[in-house]
């Protein structure tokens, strides 16, 4: 039994931890927070999503909200449909990359961005107070046009005919998740020969839904056997994307954003430097800085969490941004990490380069990144550990936006308390594997 309630929403195993009562109260709290507006609701493909949806609808309706049911669709589609329908907010029923026994709720505001820290605190206060609004229900409408609307928006901002001319052979692993239908549809619209594996949202997840290399063996094999030009894999709510090269090699999710950023910066060579802003979080690979420098762009680093990157992108009118976990955010489409956008940008890049995916990867600077975690009981213990790290690297360039990030001439290490779990996350990156490992060893207790 495990439940995680944080500013990023709620997640838990169903139904023992994420109980029907908790789901109902969260929906009532959100309806109260939005003061009975229209709420768009999308779900991932987990069997438990369907029953949670019924409970969420009841909660929202009891507070006087009007509900638009989007059915199963990617998380970024919900963000797009909030703006499209001029709704007051949106809810996504998903546990993202967590395994099948889990589910969760995420909350978006009227611009499709997740609630920020201050908004989430206010919202969680309503949840805890149990002082929910009661008003006459305004009904549920079903709208299954979300995926088509999303694809239309993507098609408008890329060179679809250039992609079509290449008739790419693309293997796609949807993990039987919320992107299964949307991703195949997008690829077909782009004239690709689609080799779909695990793209049936009615079936259970065939593997752990986090799109990290160790979960992509089947996709990598498929790319090789079917001689595909490349392969794509999304997590269960299709916001994160990973790429497999034509050699059948999972290139690591850090490079998804790097490829998308490089393509957009290449496309915008004529823009002045002050208009070339890339936003990413503190823990994302330095590849982004190297690529940005090459094209005279500026990189802004935020705290961890999609909302921080999205708000900064919106406020600074950034060109593109995202997270190193395979999350690309392209403001021309929306302010969520979006696997559909990532696929389209990477295929557009491949079409423009007239080369192979492995060539595009080999042109990127190479880094070794290591991610690990240690348990900690509470915030005090985390702070104590972070202070120790500051001491170890006394005199070095320290960034204290969140936890501590140490910038060295040949690498960096970032140590921070997790927002959602009682752990400390440690990420180190360097050009050589040994150096990155050394950095982590230097601070492990």
Q: Which of 8, 36, 88, 96 is catalytic?
A: 96
Of the candidates 264, 265, 251, 287, the one whose C-alpha atom is nearest the C-alpha of residue 345 is 264
Look at residue 416 and give its three-state secondary structure. strand
What is the tally of helices (H) and strands (E) in the chain?
15, 20
Residues 6+ apart with CB under 8 A from 200: 176, 180
Contact criterion met (CB below 8 Å) for 231 and 246: no
| Nearest to 367, CA basis, from 302, 245, 303, 283 | 283
**Closer to Mg ion by Cβ: residue 97 or 109:** 97
How many Cα atoms occupy the beta-carbon half-sphere of 277 within 13 Å?
16
> Is there a contact between 385 and 415 (Cβ–Cβ < 8 Å)?
yes
Minimum CB separation of residue 234 from Mg ion in Å reads 8
Please provide residue 426's backbone torsions phi and psi, each rounded to the nearest 5 degrees: -125, 125
Smallest Cα–Cα separation from 405: which of 256, 294, 286, 258?
286
CA-based nearest residue to 265, from 280, 254, 276:
276
CB nearer Mg ion, residue 137 or residue 419: 419
Residue 154: both structure tokens together: 């993507």
351 contacts: CB under 8 Å, gap ≥ 6 = 159, 162, 163, 165, 166, 168
Q: Which is nearer to Mg ion, 78 or 220 (CB)?
A: 78
Q: How far is the CB of 49 from Mg ion (least distance, A)?
A: 13
Which residue carries 């611009």 as its tokens?
111
CB of 370 to Mg ion, least distance (A): 22
Beta-carbon-side half-sphere exposure of residue 291 (alpha carbons within 13 Å): 31
**Residue number with CB closer to Mg ion (88 or 281):** 281
Q: Tell me how far, at minimum, the Cβ of 211 lies from Mg ion, in Å.
A: 9
List Cβ neighbours of 36 (8 Å cut-off, separation of 6 or more). 63, 64, 65, 133, 135, 138
Q: Catalytic annotation on 8?
A: no
Q: Point out the residue whose Cβ comes nearest to Mg ion.
A: 96
Of the pair 179, 231, the CB lying nearest Mg ion is at 179
Please report how close the Cβ of residue 78 comes to Mg ion at its closest, in angstroms: 12
Q: Which residues bind Mg ion (CB under 5 A)?
A: 96, 235, 237, 239
- Closer Cβ to Mg ion, 237 or 402, answer by number: 237
- Structure token digits, residue 44: 């991932």
Q: How far is the CB of 101 from Mg ion (least distance, A)?
A: 16
Give the shortest CB-244-to-Mg ion separation in angstroms: 18
Q: Which long-range contacts (CB under 8 A, 24 or more apart) does 391-394 make?
A: 392/442, 392/443
Question: 426 has which bridge partners?
Answer: 372, 415
| Pairing, β 368-375 against β 423-430 | antiparallel
Smaller CB separation from Mg ion, 106 or 425: 106
Q: Which is nearer to Mg ion, 238 or 428 (CB)?
A: 238
Tell me the closest approach of the beta carbon of residue 397 to Mg ion, in angstroms. 32
By annotation, the residues acting in catalysis are 96
């Amino acid at each position: 039994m495990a439940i995680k309630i944080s500013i990023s929403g709620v997640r838990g195993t169903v139904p023992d931890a994420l109980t029907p009562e908790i789901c109902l109260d969260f929906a009532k709290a959100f309806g109260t927070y939005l003061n009975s507006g229209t709420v768009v609701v999308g779900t991932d493909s987990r069997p438990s999503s369907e029953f949670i949806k019924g409970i969420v609808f009841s909660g929202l309706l009891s507070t006087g909200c009007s509900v638009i049911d989007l059915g199963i669709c990617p998380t970024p589609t919900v963000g797009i449909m909030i703006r499209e329908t001029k709704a007051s907010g949106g809810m996504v029923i998903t546990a993202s990359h967590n395994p099948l026994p889990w589910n969760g709720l995420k909350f978006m505001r009227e611009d499709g961005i997740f609630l920020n820290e201050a908004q989430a605190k206010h919202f969680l206060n309503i949840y805890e107070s149990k002082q929910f609004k009661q008003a006459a229900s305004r009904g549920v409408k079903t709208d299954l046009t979300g995926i088509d609307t999303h694809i239309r928006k993507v098609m408008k901002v890329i060179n679809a005919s250039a992609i079509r001319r290449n008739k790419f052979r693309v293997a796609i692993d949807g993990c039987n998740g919320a992107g299964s239908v949307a991703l195949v549809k997008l690829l077909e619209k782009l004239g690709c020969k689609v080799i779909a594996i695990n793209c049936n949202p009615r079936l259970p997840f065939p593997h752990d839904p986090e799109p990290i290399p160790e979960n992509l063996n089947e996709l990598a094999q498929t790319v090789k056997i079917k001689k595909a030009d490349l392969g794509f894999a999304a997590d269960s709510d299709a916001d994160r994307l990973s790429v497999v090269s034509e050699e059948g090699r999972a290139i690591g999710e850090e490079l998804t954003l790097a490829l998308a950023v490089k393509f957009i910066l290449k496309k915008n060579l004529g823009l002045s430097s002050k208009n070339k802003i890339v936003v990413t979080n503190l823990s994302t690979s330095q590849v982004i800085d190297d690529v940005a420098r090459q094209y005279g762009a500026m990189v802004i680093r935020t705290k961890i969490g999609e909302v921080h990157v999205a708000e900064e992108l919106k406020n600074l009118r950034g060109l593109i941004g995202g997270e190193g976990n395979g999350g690309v955010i392209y403001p021309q489409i929306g302010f969520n990490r979006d696997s559909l956008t990532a696929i389209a940008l990477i295929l557009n890049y491949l079409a423009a380069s007239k080369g192979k995916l492995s060539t595009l990867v080999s042109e990127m600077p190479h880094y070794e990144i290591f991610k690990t975690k240690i348990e900690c009981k509470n915030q005090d213990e985390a702070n104590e550990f972070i202070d120790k790290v500051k001491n170890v690297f006394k005199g070095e360039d320290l960034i204290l936006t969140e936890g501590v990030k140490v910038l060295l001439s040949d690498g960096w290490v970032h140590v921070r308390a997790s927002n959602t779990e009682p752990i400390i996350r440690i990420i180190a990156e360097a050009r050589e594997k040994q150096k990155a490992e050394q950095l982590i060893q230097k601070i492990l207790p």
